[in-house]
Structure 1
Amino acid sequence: MIEAIDFRNAMSLLTTAVNVVTTKGQSGLHGFTASAVCSVTDTPPTLLVCMNQAARSHAHFLENKTLSVNVLGAQHESISNAFASKLCSEERFEYGSWTELATGAPVLEDALVSFDCEIEDIQEVGTHSIFMCRVVAIKQGYQYSDQQSGAGESLVYFNRAYHQVGQVEIV
């Protein structure tokens, strides 16, 4: 049997993008930092988002049934830390500038890309809920032309630390 600590240590070596996942609706405004986000299919555009059921905002995501996945750039480390902290929801959203798209879930204005989603299905596996999310709007903040300005570097998490990827060397 594989022990939980051994699994966590092994998973720390899987490089993941850092995202802030947000929701807004009848249950209020909430968000958390997540690395367990991935594409499921492009037809229809669908993302998978995993959330710990013990998270204090878990019930709010279930009730609101919407979320936005905001893919963080290298400059967003403080936003990631705020949404992973014990700060209350209102204090978390003091970091960054926010707007909204179709669902009303907060979208980080300068995220590399934001996916605005409706939660279509939820499965519980162990300690986590898996949200199957239909993408209803996309806001792309990074453009290929931004490479010359140094923008567009992605914030990733590897070996329990933040790193940056995507830097383009201009010759």
Structure 2
Amino acid sequence: MVAYIRYTTSFLIASHERGEFPTSKHGLLLLLLLLVLPNSSLTMSLCGLAFTITKSITPRYHIRCLSTINTPSKVIENVRGIMRKVPQPVVVVTTSKPEDRNHRRGITVASFTSVCLKPEPLVSFCVQTPSRASDLLHSSGSMVLNMLAHEQVQQSIAFSSPTADQFKDIPFFDDPITGLPVLMGTLGAMHCEVYKVVQLGDHEMWITKVLKVEEGVGGEHGVREEAKPLLYYDRCYRSVGDQVFMKAFADNNDLASTKWMHRAHLRMAWNYIRELGPDAAEPVIKETIRTHFSKNPVKSRDYHETITSFYIALVSAAVRSFKGDDASDFFALVEHFPQLLDSKTIETYYSPDQLYTDHAKHTFVKPDLKPLPTYL
């Protein structure tokens, strides 16, 4: 036994001198040897060897403190970053009041997913709170999940707005049994009832039971349509409605010309200002509008450098001034600052003689009645 211990000790000492085996398992072996050896010079040698090995060990791995590296705000940014790369189907959830089926609402979501098929099919989606859509869903308890086809950009934009006339110019019918509104021309529709609602931060997760599925809901002419789904990925800090809107604007999607009037330009500017900051956004906004006008030759004469610059400044001032939970909602912004949509607002900054000149149309001129605002 003593001979074996002496051999092992000699092996460990020689290995250490060659720079080998500086690991914790050899420290354990030394400890076992110390337990079985009486006090002797050999024991003291082993103690010295253990101390030397311990001091000479260079850690191969470094354990980082996750609490300091992955702060809550950092994790949020990382989640946003990875989710921007994941395509999501665009779904419009429609519902109405049980006592008044003419009181309809819809909301565009991109959080739709299947939960399970057995023992009963469940699907889920998320709704921001507080919102009128959430209130009506709670009141109704039932809804239709409309899977948009790739050409239904206009529907997606319409139902991302909280305005009362969401269904105006949108083909739909009321289900003869439930009375719920069903959009036409979609890939399909799921008729659902609430199963469970979970409050999660500033959103509610609605888990719903599917009662009926309609595939290829008929178009305007009663034809069941086969199409590709409308997908989006959030490459910026935009809601699904804003992302689809911006893509349609950039692609010059064939929507009604009324969709690209003053409010659409404001919404486009608002997205870029939030994404890039006012200074970096200004040339991008102007180039986007010029490009859009160039694709519509009839409107090309409408571009006005001073008017465009004025409204960029006005939207920037509104963004600086608008704080709180609704700061990421364009429609809340224009509701809070109605002067953005008021065509006469610019007249409080510019006189007609200053604004409506050929020079002002092609080159920015400063207002002559009062300076551009920094805040509203």
TM range (shorter): 0.7 to 0.9
One-letter amino acid of the structure 1 residue matched with residue 173 of structure 2? T
2:172 alignment partner, one of 77, 90, 98? 98
2:182 and 2:109 map into 1 onto residues whose CA distance is 15
1:11 alignment partner, one of 50, 60, 83? 83
Does structure 1 retain, via aligned residues, the 8 Å contact 2:216–2:226?
no
1:24-66 CA deviation, whole Å, 9 max, x = no partner?
1237311110001111112212111111112232111111101
1:20 maps to what in 2?
A: 92
Q: CA deviation at 1:117?
A: 0.5
1:99 and 1:33 map into 2 onto residues whose CA distance is 18
1:5 and 1:86 map into 2 onto residues whose CA distance is 27
1:128 and 1:79 map into 2 onto residues whose CA distance is 23
- DSSP-derived class of the 1:75 partner: coil
Is residue 147 of structure 2 the alignment partner of residue 75 of structure 1?
Answer: no
Give runs of aligned pairs for residues 1-171 of structure 1, distance below 5 A: 1-3=71-73, 4-26=76-98, 28-43=103-118, 44-88=120-164, 91-101=165-175, 102-141=177-216, 151-158=226-233, 159-160=235-236, 161-162=243-244
Does structure 2 retain, via aligned residues, the 8 Å contact 1:32–1:83?
yes
Does structure 1 retain, via aligned residues, the 8 Å contact 2:122–2:208?
yes
Q: Which has the higher strand share?
A: 1
1:82-133 CA deviation, whole Å, 9 max, x = no partner?
1112422xx2112421124453321112110100101121111111111111
Q: CA deviation at 1:134?
A: 0.8
Q: TM-score, normalised by structure 2?
A: 0.38
One-letter amino acid of the structure 1 residue matched with residue 129 of structure 2? Q
Q: TM-score, normalised by structure 1?
A: 0.80
Q: 1:9–1:105: structure 2 CA closer, same or farther, 3 Å change rule?
A: farther
Does structure 1 retain, via aligned residues, the 8 Å contact 2:143–2:180?
yes
Give the gaps of 5 or more residues in structure 2. 1-70, 218-224, 237-242, 248-376
1:133-167 CA deviation, whole Å, 9 max, x = no partner?
1111111117xxxxxxx94111100135448xxxx
- Percent identity between the two aligned chains: 23
Query: Is the radius of gyration larger for structure 1 or structure 2?
Result: 2
Q: Which has the higher helix share?
A: 2
Aligned alpha-carbon RMSD (Å): 2.1
- DSSP-derived class of the 2:81 partner: helix
